[in-house]
Chain A
Amino acid sequence: MKALAWHGKHDVRIDTVDDPEIVNPRDCIIKVTSTAICGSDLHLYDGYIPTMQAGDILGHEFMGEVVEVGAKSTLKKGQRVVVPFTIACGSCYHCNKHQYSACPNGLPADNQDIAQELYGHEMSGLFGYSHMTGGYAGGQAEYVRVPFSDVGPIVIPDGVADDKVLFLSDILPTGWQAAEYAQIEPGDTVAVWGCGPVGLFAVQSAFLMGAERVIAIDHFPHRLELAKKFGAETINFEESATYEALMEMTGGIGPDAVIDAVGLEAHGMFVDNIIDQIKASTFLGTDRPHSIRQAIIACRKGGRVSMPAVYGGFVDKFPLGAFMEKGLTLKTGQTHVQHYMPALLNAIMEDKIDTEFLISHRMPLTDAPKGYDLFKNHQNETTKIVLKPGMTAA
């Protein structure tokens, strides 16, 4: 089969590799019909994530048709499914608490050592996201082996288009969880840093959860326009001073809840950010956390900080004093995708959540290397690229 493989920093290629087969009884194999490039795939593309190996197949947002099932899979050939990016068993202590991204049973025992050293504990396995998360082949491919297929994938009713439901795999639940973690109360003002896919779904979700106002912060005019379409007010940090603007827009109180949907590759020419870039490039620090610093400083006293953004290592100059003195609460984590999928599928079917607005490009899988370059270098226009293995090259 053909698959998009990582070969190094800014080097991804379409390779021809063996088709996957059933290995464990709960596996299924799906024939991918749609798969997206995620903002966090750019972290791999830019070489920020350790434990990648040449030839690793990328992609953790994907869906397709079931073509083979293991003896203990409950799926049937021909069913269309969306696959959660977190590989979780459904029966351990964490899964029983619906903390799916904390499930240790999808992560091979040998790979658990790395995360245990770095984070103190192992996390769930992920598709196509380095060997620290299991070394699983991802979904930017014609076929994928899906473990725990009896509890992970959600079956999509006939007649519902791929483009409507594909984002159930990651970014829609991630945006939703971000808003949920902001513990929004009626009348709240919520500020969202980053109008990428997760930020835009967080904007929609925050309104659905009762926020009175959402203020979206970015520097890409097109992305801010999309946030505006959902009713958000906007701050372009290249045009206005973010902290000052937030204070003025909230009568000096500050936002009740802040959401950092930017993460480890923050853009922008701020002094602390430039220091972070130098440190990251000399391996003195791995993350560039400007947005979370600013969010904490802007958040109102006693407010809530939600951090869906991906951070991988250590940061310094974290405003711990502000965090403590103002009595803030922080909630964060990889998304417990399986927990949110059924309700969000219903919300999509009832047209409560718009998903298709996000897709700016559709292209054949074989154009994926072009897609990565586009997503990396033209972020204003490129909001989301969906790869279609069945599509023929133009």
Chain B
Amino acid sequence: MTDRRDDAPVSTAKHGDAADLTTATLAEGKGGSVAGRSVTINRPASELYGYFRDFTNLPHFMENVVSIDVRDATVSHWVVKAPAGATVEWDARITQEQPDRLIEWTSEPGADVANSGRIEFRDAGARGTVVTATIAYDPPGGAIGKLIAKMFQREPAIQARRDLRRFKQLMETGEIATPAMNPKQFEEMGL
């Protein structure tokens, strides 16, 4: 691990140590690739945290999440779409949480995609709340798997960016933007 050279988030690092730098800051970090993205949402941190912390809400704006079963206070089971009609599953365990501020998680042993990460909610005054998602993960099938995932737009970096935009839309407007002409088309198009 090299020393940080500037104040930019590690997810924007040009050199290969971003994943190491990220996982080192997590309670139980794992994963060789990292995706990070921030979005400013014009709602209070408590409201955003509250909605997010109820994981059963997440499929409302996370397009690739098929289902999340909450097992107990810290463990939930995730089923997520993968390229070519497949799904991947894992148990996620919360490793750290601070109400209205932060949630960290890590996947349990046996995960199809080992991953860990953090979602932060920082008060931004009149602009609302800056929400930052950082996800470290081991893409199935290594580099080629990542390329395939990108082709199918199931790559975590692309998904995180789009999911955060939908989270913003849902929290700020109460709905998710769609050009669908009718509810049936909306269903077919996905989120």
Contacts and interface: CB of A to CB of B under 8 A. Distances in A.
Nearest to A91: B172
B173 A23 contact: no
Contacts of A89: 169, 172-173
Contacts of A92: 42, 168, 172-173
Interface stretch (B14-22, B139-147, B181-189): B181-189
Interface string A78-108: 0000000001010111001000000011111
Contacts of A148: 173
Interface string B142-174: 000000000001000010011101101100111
Interface residues of B, number: 28
A92 B174 CA distance: 12
A109 interface: yes
A14 to B, nearest CB: 17
A104 B171 CA distance: 13
A134 B177 contact: yes
A163 interface: no
Contacts of B59: none
Contact of A108 (B158, B173, B179): B179
Interface in A26-43: 26
Contacts of A21: 181-183
A137 B181 contact: yes
Contact of B180 (A23, A72, A104, A113): A23
A96 B128 CA distance: 12
B175 interface: yes
Interface in A323-349: none
Contact of B175 (A25, A93, A125): A25
Interface in A5-30: 17-18, 20-26
Contact of B177 (A22, A93, A109): A109
A18 B42 contact: no
Given A91-B172, A104-B165, A105-B168, A20 B179 contact: no
Interface residues of A, number: 34
Contact of A109 (B162, B173, B183): B162
Nearest to B164: A109
B64 interface: no
Contacts of B165: 104, 109, 112, 122
B71 interface: no
B174 A93 contact: no
Nearest to A144: B181
Most buried by A among B153, B162, B166, B175: B175
A147 B182 contact: no
Contact of B181 (A20, A109, A112): A20
Contacts of A106: 177
A96 B172 CA distance: 12
B67 to A, nearest CB: 20
Most chain A CB inside 10 Å of its own CB: which residue of B42, B163, B166, B168: B42
B178 interface: yes
15 contacts: A17-B181, A18-B181, A20-B181, A21-B182, A23-B185, A24-B178, A72-B174, A104-B168, A104-B169, A105-B173, A108-B178, A112-B165, A125-B177, A134-B177, A148-B173
Q: What 8 pairs across the A-B complex have the smallest Cβ distances?
A: A21-B182, A109-B165, A24-B175, A135-B179, A109-B162, A89-B173, A136-B179, A20-B181
